[in-house]
Chain A
Amino acid sequence: MTGRTVVVYSEDRELGLQMLSKGREISDKLGAELSVLVIGDGITDPEEYITHGADRVLIVDDPALGSFAVETYRGVVLDALKDVDLDVLLIGATKRGKELAARVAAALNTGCMTDCIEIDVDEEGRLLGERLTYGGSVISSQVSTRKPHMATIPPKTFKKADPSPREGEISVMDVDIQDHRVKVVESREKARGDAGLVEAPIVVSAGRGFKDKADLKLLEELAETLGAKVGCSRPIAADLGWMEEWIGISGYKISPKLYIACGISGTIQHAAGIREAQIIVSVNNEAGANIHEISDYSIVGDIYTVIPALTKALKERMK
């Protein structure tokens, strides 16, 4: 393979397709070929990558690659790309993707911008990235000064393109597959999912202002009235274990039409998770709480009296 190349990789197929739309944009600016690397055992429908923007699908298909092992996958990525004139390597920022990207970047002696929420290239062909830092309160605009430029992209950052009939090549690669030293003894499926939070048009959410798990009932009644999903801030899930998933920089980032924060102080980590909400409403008894600073409407008051009153008022108006 010759010529400039942008390569996209994710072990999560959907994320790979999403990155292809942005990858296409960047490749066109660079005048580069867009390749997607697909690693696995029994890979199906490689044409889908082409209809979503790829010029070339690099396939590494082997029974030894059925499950993700970072050491093995690292070797496969490096070997598959060793003859490529690599301009940009984009890796999907799942947890597995991020540990792979860092390891690959170290092997390639280059930088990597983690969790980019926007990427572009400048006139010199350098990769530009925007990412959150300082717990999510600040956007850091960065530039990668050395080839190959690397970045990781979180799920749902870019929309996948509508499929269109395109020409592309499918190359099945023969690469060196190395063993890995970390042995997986057991893999326990998580009874998880985002509880519908990411897609929900309305989310009501609990914070430390709730004194007891049973009191969440108040919030559930409000949610029921609004047809909303119930979420929470990190302490409610990670420290108290009242719920499985939380909203924030380290949890789910959501973009509902309406977000109602109840008894949430509004740390910058939490704020980073709700930045994209259309309307933010807060109820918190502390006038100085940061959540009021990032809300459209707030009531400084006791959640135990305000929430039932709000539920009642909404019920009357929504009949």
Chain B
Amino acid sequence: MTKIIVLLKDIVDLNEIKIDPSTRQPRTKGLKRRISDVDKRALEAAIRLKEKNDGEIVALSMGSDKTRTAMLEALAMGADSLFIVNDSGLAGVDALVTSKVLKAAVEKIGGYDLILCGEMTLDSLSAQVGPRLAELLGLPQVTYVKQIDLEDGMLRAVRDLEDVDEVVEVELPAVVSVVREINEARIPSLMNIMRAKKKPTEEWDALALGLSAEELRAGSSIEVVKLEAPLVERKRIVIEAETVEEAAAKLADAIIGEGVVGA
């Protein structure tokens, strides 16, 4: 039986983010948190592997007090159990620390054959946690996967690289990161959403993992100095006219007037 750990992160809905026009800082407070889209597809991939080969799916997330609500969707989709690392002392730590925490959590869960995650979360876009975790666990990694199959402890995957599609094989255990193209994540039924609440869920702080949040934080390496939306200096001229032809004519004049057409 294959035991798959899926790494999931809850992030703010990126389309809901508004930029404060005076400070140019993103307003993220109070926004609903959801599972990062690519992570959800990693979970979907795990569910499809389980449907074919039987097995167990453990969802693992490092987050906050809000994570539990967001992660109900993972249980509703088909994860069998959920572990959340929630320690206020670890809020906002970098990928270096995150991967150390996840390593401890993965080892505490134990007995896994496969660790699945998204190529990157859509908020931080750092694309580091999968490979870092593989390094810390001494496991092989298969990144940017758009097709995955499992047979007799052998994983076969297609990697989506810039110049080639690479078909690879690796013996489990391994860490695999997926790209958005791998699948469409299912939308859980109402029945499964109800059932999700009854599935085993456990929260750990750093101490429960045998770690010190303080020490980990002291070992953090990357600090965010400033978050600011780039200045968008656009003219924002909305062309209005009685008819489509007139509007098009005005637009054509404007485009040509900018000197961006022709040699």
Judge: A and B partners, yes or no.
yes
Contact surface of A with B, Cβ cutoff 8 Å: 70-71, 74, 94-96, 98-103, 105-107, 109-115, 128, 131-146, 180-190, 192, 201-202, 226, 238, 249-250, 257-258, 267-269, 275, 278-281, 292-302, 305-306, 309-310, 312-314, 316-318
Taking CB as reference atom, which chain B residue is nearest A296? B235
Enumerate chain B residues within 8 angstroms of A238, measured Cβ to Cβ. 180-181
Q: Is the CB of B168 within 8 A of A133?
A: no
In the bound complex, what is the Cα–Cα distance between A42 and B124 (angstroms)? 38
Select one of B14, B127, B249 contacting A102, CB under 8 A.
B127
**3 closest residue pairs by CB, A with B:** A111-B221, A309-B248, A313-B252
The closest CB in chain A to the CB of B26 belongs to: A138
Give CA–CA (A114, B171) in the complex, Å.
29
**Which residues of B have CB within 8 Å of A183?**
168-170
Say whether B191 faces chain A, with CB atoms less than 8 Å apart: no
- Residues in A whose Cβ lies below 8 Å from that of B239: 297-299
Taking A296-B236, A297-B255 as contacts, is the C-beta distance between A184 and B168 under 8 angstroms?
yes
A37 CB, nearest partner CB in chain B, Å: 19
Asked whether any CB of chain A lies closer than 8 Å to the CB of B244, the reply is yes
B30 at the A interface (CB under 8 A): no
B:218-245 near A, CB below 8 Å: 219-230, 232, 234-239, 244-245
Q: Are the CB atoms of B164 and A180 closer together than 8 Å?
A: no
Residues of A within 8 A of B190 (CB): none
Most buried by A among B128, B156, B225: B128
25 pairs, A vs B, C-beta closer than 8 Å:
A99-B127, A99-B131, A106-B135, A111-B220, A114-B126, A115-B125, A139-B228, A139-B230, A141-B225, A145-B221, A182-B142, A182-B169, A182-B174, A185-B156, A185-B167, A188-B164, A258-B258, A267-B15, A268-B14, A278-B260, A279-B258, A280-B234, A293-B234, A300-B238, A313-B252
What residues of A have a CB within 8 angstroms of the CB of B126 in the complex?
Answer: 114
B251 A111 Cβ-Cβ under 8 A: no
Residues in A whose Cβ lies below 8 Å from that of B143? 70, 95, 99
Q: A139-B230, A296-B236, A299-B247 are in contact. Are A202 and B163 (CB under 8 A)?
A: no
Query: Is there an interface contact between B238 and A298, defined as CB atoms closer than 8 Å?
Result: yes
- Residues of chain B whose beta carbon lies under 8 Å from any beta carbon of chain A: 12, 14-15, 17, 19, 26, 28, 94-96, 99, 122-136, 140-144, 156, 161-171, 174, 180-181, 219-230, 232, 234-239, 244-245, 247-249, 251-256, 258, 260-262
With A and B bound together, what is the CA distance between A309 and B250 in angstroms? 11
Whether B96 pairs with A134 at a CB distance below 8 angstroms is no
Whether the Cβ atoms of A298 and B237 lie closer than 8 Å is yes
B96 → A minimal CB distance (Å): 5
Once A105-B96, A106-B131, A111-B96 are accepted as A-B contacts, the answer to whether A297 and B221 lie under 8 Å apart by CB is no
Contact check: which of A139, A140, A313 meets B251 at CB < 8 Å? A313
Given A111-B94, A297-B254, the answer on whether A132 and B131 have CB atoms closer than 8 Å is no
Known: A102-B95, A137-B14, A192-B163. 4 other contacts (CB 8 A): A71-B141, A101-B128, A131-B125, A238-B181
Q: In the complex, are the beta carbons of B164 and A140 less than 8 A apart?
A: no
Chain A's closest residue to B171 (CB) is A181
> How many angstroms from the CA of A142 to the CA of B124 in the assembled complex?
12
A106-B136, A188-B164 are known contacts. Are A137 and B229 too (CB-CB below 8 A)? yes
Contact A96 B161 (CB under 8 A): yes
Instruction: Specify which chain A residues have a CB less than 8 angstroms from the CB of B244 in the assembled complex.
Output: 301-302, 305-306, 309
Q: How far is the CB of B195 from chain A (nearest CB, A)?
A: 30
CB-CB under 8 A from A188, the residues of chain B are 164-167
Set of chain B residues within 8 Å of A298, measured between Cβ atoms = 236-239
Which residue of chain A lies nearest to B243 when distances are taken between CB atoms in the complex? A309
CB-CB under 8 A from B247, the residues of chain A are: 299, 301, 306, 309
Q: Which one of A95, A141, A279 contacts B224 once the chains associate, using CB atoms below 8 Å? A: A141
Which of A102, A185, A192 counts the most B-chain CB atoms under 10 A from its CB?
A102
CA distance A256 to B245 in the complex (A): 26
The smallest beta-carbon distance between B18 and chain A, in angstroms, is 10
A318 B261 Cβ-Cβ under 8 A: yes
